[in-house]
Chain A
Amino acid sequence: MDCNSSLLGPALVTGTILGFLYALIALGYTMVYGVLKLINFAHDAVFAVGAIGTWFLFGEILNIDEPKQGLMLVLVILAVLLVGGLVSAGGAALLERTAYRPLRKRHAARLSYLISAIGASFFATYLFQQDFLPILLGPGPQQFPHIIAAGPEAFSMNILGSRVTTPEVLMVVVAVICFIVLDRVINQTSTGRSIRALSEDPIAAQLMGVNVDRVIVVTFLIGGFFGGIAGAMYGLLFGSIAWNLGFTPGVKAFTAAVLGGIGNIRGAMLGAILLGLIENLSTVCIDSEWKNVVAFTILPLVLIFRPTGIMGERIGG
């Protein structure tokens, strides 16, 4: 452990930004867990489908390849995020319909859901790797449309000795907005009330007239929507996407959700930023190659020593 202190600032900044990305994905894990008490193993594919959907629409169909300026930039970014969100929401709803609902109707054992979700995840991921349809990514990485100007002359600001670019600022802003919106939805709308009721006491909620099927679909839709926004943001942040883009962020977001207390929305946010920081500080203090090992080791440690996470498991937070 000898930390190179000059890299500490940039590590903190990168860690926070990645943390916000994980947070958006973690919302999906935590929402579904809150209601179904089940880890949605296929959420990584839901996240990926958002990135792929935006790539296909804006890059392949609309052929946008020039950085936009001013109002146009704002509009295009909003469109990209919206499309990503909608595609993933659709994907999540489809997932619920095909891989979850038939099992739910049959009162299947817990193991069945996990296996079915893993099947869905691997089906989608390796389907993206094929190339018999233009929407599939194929085995290599693909350029994500360059909507935001990049390069040395583009806008950037200096925080703690680190150059922060427009997509990175955008990442934080978008995540914070999403979080505030979701918090409002969960705590102040009737849909949110149904979701909370179902997560607290499914039997009582049903007796009170909560439509379980509807609420579950809505939960998947909301989680998928934020996952899709995260997917689009991933494309904007890293500039290219590959068929297996979902896996690593997926596992990390899941870890983050558990770290903060799975089922708890505020916890997911907190856990994600914490995980981003820990992971990136470890690259400074240990070695960048061990970054993933550190992230993967945190999960069992949290589960063994504090299985309910930092903030407990209540969805309302």
Chain B
Amino acid sequence: MKRNIFLLCTIVTLASCSVTKYPLKHEAYNKIYEEKPLTIMAMPPINRSTKVEAKELFYSSLTVPLTQKGYYVMPPLLSMEILKEESAYDAELLMDYSMKNVGELFGVDAVLFTIIHDWSKTTLASQVRVNIEYILKSTKSDEILFNRQGNITLNITSSAGGLIGLATSMIATALTKEISVGRNCNIFTLSDIPEGKYGPKFMLDGEEYSGPKEINEVINQNY
């Protein structure tokens, strides 16, 4: 019995051990622990890819992962409308300036810039690839609080047989996979951010290890 308990404990310990390659979160994101931002406004994405629709495809999926990490994200549809009115739709023009005015105007602690470096697909291989950079900038100090890059490839495999099956599947899922890859990139890349005020680990995750600066993932999806 004792031997069994020992064996069980060893397995639990081994399984919970993580590789200690990167700095602790309170070192990697010390400004977040210092400033404790709660409210975030996502700016319209900066699109440097050749895909025209990328901006629209991507913006609506930024809110969910940040709220699940305990932050308050400004309502996206309303924000987009106001940003357009304030001539702030082109976020690239704002990125290098102080965010203090934006903070006061909208009552936000931080602003999230996203740069879509690549959003492309290969029809033959049924792959969609995105490369997106996330920069969270403080409106209090103008410091960069979080800066990570996600490099996500989505592999589509068809569950229907033969060429007809593949073609049908590709048409049916064309839109879904385009949305899916953007969402996955947000989820993977933003998962490293320390938890915000509403998260159960708020100010308690500083001793956890942070992830890499560039996140590379290949996701396989079967339709």
> Are both chains from one complex?
no
Q: Which A residues are closer than 8 A to B by beta carbons?
A: none
Q: Which B residues are closer than 8 A to A by beta carbons?
A: none
